[in-house]
Amino acid sequence: MPCEMNSNTAADAPAVKLSATAPAAASERTMVTALDSAAQGSNAMTFFDGRGEVATELPYSELRQDALATARHLLNIGARPGDKIAIVAETCPEFVVLFFGCQYAGMVPVPMPAVVNFGGGDAYEKQLEFLVRQSESVAAFATPEFLPLLKKAVAANDDLKYTGTLEDLPVAGVNANYEPEMPEIKPDDIAYIQYTSGSTRVARGAVITQRAVMANLDAIIRDGLVLKPEDRFFSWLPFYHDMGLVGKVLLPVASALPIGYLGTRDFAKRPRLWLTLMHRTQATISFGPPFAYELCARRLREGQASEYSLENWRIAGVGAEMIRPQQLNNFAEAVDGSGFSADAFLPSYGMAEVGVAISFARLSSGFTVDRVIGESCSDGLHAQHVEDHEGDPAQVKEYVNCGRPLAGTIIEVRDDDGRLLEDRAIGHIWVQTPSAMQGYLNEPEATAIALQGGWINTGDLGYKLNEEIIITGRAKDLIIVNGRNIWPQDLEALAENDFGIRPGGAMAFALEEVDHEEVVMLVQYRERDEQIRSDLKRRMEAHIRSEFGVDCQVHLVDAQALPRTSSGKPSRSQARRRFLERRLLTGAEMKLQATAN
């Protein structure tokens, strides 16, 4: 359920006259000027509870007043412009007020994950402890639900001036009559710290300036989505993920358009609420990763699509992970009869290090697929095209086109030595954009690797096709066996498509042995009958050997063995580490047992 907004926060907010002048030039806009402008209209953020009912309505005018009051209270506890403020980012008004309160106070909000994974509270507390310390935050906020975990996480942190809720902040200051002067917010000031998901490495904090995020938002408004005055957003994406924060919190404010929110956990429990609220709000724009569309499709029974009216859904954005065509096709088929058009699908490519977006496919054209010979990708790193009617289906790979870069952004594909590659040659993706991060907070070595000569090394692999970009995977996830390149996503897709494993229920990776790479796939499987489990494992290993020509160890595991990042992406690096730790532990136990005998 979304958190409830305490209306007393803005009761004593200093009155600030709204500017009647035209909006600032794009290069001079900040999140402060964006909210000042949005507050002149009547649009609002609407938060829905787990039953799909309105929990809180927050007009932009009220958000601005609440944020100004919060800025004053932050200054009153001794925090100063430039200080980092950690905020557990639940999908609720408190987070938005705190985020923009930091903007007016010249402070730097640091969104923290608001999800306790299967590892339990201890693992989550360690994560919060690390992020608060690494970000050098001087205050930490959470709602009452997460506050006990936050307090335990930061109990030993003596650098914090305040740990608590937004509601209690007004009485925490040293002077109840304190009337601070709000600092001037400049385009080169830091707007926020966005921690990357850490799917292939330890999470790092991307430092994003006001100028950078506004450059990304303005390009999305004008070029990527071509927003219209009648547009309305809806989102269930988590606020601690770049697509949820920048794409669905900051973008509505920057465009002064209304948005509705459903909590991420509420969506996970009842995926069809996404469709229900798209129907009720008649929203025109909503984004999600591919697995979310697949999840909705699986929850819809035949004939239920006619219960929804989705003809106004003009942009169904897709991103945040590898896009599999079948997942989108399944969704379009499941909602047939609702008025939804597959032309609404809008594949995109982006990363937290540039705000959120790098490229978008063509509007109102649906998604397009490039069919290539699988062996050419694996053996020669060249995406050799095959026509729809050609090629052995078992040997053909399909990649979704993620479109052209946003205006002002340049994408290059380079080989291992940095040489520019031609169309269809698979290589490392580099990006040059005005929305690039300053670097990773307190991580000079990682920054030097990611930022080189004005370019960002994305860590992704892909190829270009007529100035459009197609993503094939993460460089560090690539499995190399006997000189052949295998994408873990292909092994995982086989488990899902051929054996009925639920989306996200398989995770493949390689182990580097002395003289070879060992391929492992963990598969979540609840069946306890040993004969059934043994048969599935045998059939799956044989099928992988037949399809890919490699030996793969399949291990049937529970959900705890499939770790995910805070944004829900598969963390293959963490799965690999856990697998190795268990193997070492098991080996040590066997040696001890042998010694004892």
DSSP 309-374: --TT--EEEE-SSPPPHHHHHHHHHHTTTTT--GGGEEEEE--GGGSS-SEE--TTS---EEEEEH
Q: Does the structure show a pLDDT above 60 at 485? A: yes
What is the arithmetic mean of pLDDT over 48-61?
Answer: 96
Helix axes 290-299, 325-334, angle to 10 degrees: 40
Residue 92, classified by CB atoms within 10 Å of its CB into exposed (0-12), middle (13-18) or buried (19+), is: buried
How far is it, in rounded angstroms, from Cα 131 to Cα 137? 9
Quickly state the pLDDT bin for 573 (edges 50, 70, 90).
confident
In this structure, what token pair is assigned to residue 88? 């557990």
pLDDT at residue 483 in the model: 54
CATH class of 271-476: alpha beta
pLDDT at residue 576 in the model: 82
Highest mean pLDDT among 112-116, 202-206, 302-306, 592-596: 302-306
| Tens digits of residue pLDDT in 501-515 | 888 889 998 886 544
| Tens digits of residue pLDDT in 306-332 | 999 999 999 999 987 778 888 899 999
How far is it, in rounded angstroms, from Cα 203 to Cα 126? 13
What is the arithmetic mean of pLDDT over 104-126?
Answer: 80
| Tens digits of residue pLDDT in 1-21 | 445 554 433 333 333 333 333
Place of tokens 């597959």: 342
Query: To the nearest whole number, what is the mean pLDDT of the chain?
Result: 86
The domain spans of the chain are 30-224, 271-476, 481-596
Q: Do domains 30-224 and 271-476 have the same CATH topology?
A: yes
Write the DSSP assignment of 127-182 as a string of letters. Answer: HHHHHHHHHTEEEEE--TTTHHHHHHHTTT-TT-SEEE-TTTGGGSSS-TT--PPP
What is the arithmetic mean of pLDDT over 177-202?
Answer: 80
| Tens digits of residue pLDDT in 63-82 | 999 999 999 999 999 999 99
How far is it, in rounded angstroms, from Cα 536 to Cα 115? 32
How far is it, in rounded angstroms, from Cα 10 to Cα 13? 5
pLDDT at residue 373 in the model: 83
At the topology level, CATH places domain 30-224 in: Rossmann fold (3.40.50)
Amino acid in the structure at residue 445 = E
Q: What is the chain's Cα-based Rg?
A: 24
Quickly state the pLDDT bin for 150 (edges 50, 70, 90).
very high
**Residue of 399, 403, 394 whose CA lies nearest to 384:** 399
Which of these ranges, 87-91, 92-96, 233-237, 322-326, has the smallest mean pLDDT? Answer: 322-326
pLDDT at residue 340 in the model: 95
Q: Does the structure show a pLDDT above 70 at 451? A: yes
Quickly state the pLDDT bin for 93 (edges 50, 70, 90).
very high
CATH architecture under which domain 481-596 falls: 2-Layer Sandwich (3.30)
Q: Does the structure show a pLDDT above 70 at 259? A: yes
Q: Which residues pair with 522 in a beta bridge?
A: 507, 555
In this structure, what token pair is assigned to residue 69? 């009051």
What is the arithmetic mean of pLDDT over 429-452?
Answer: 94
Instruction: State residue 498 phi and psi, 5-degree precision.
Output: -95, -15
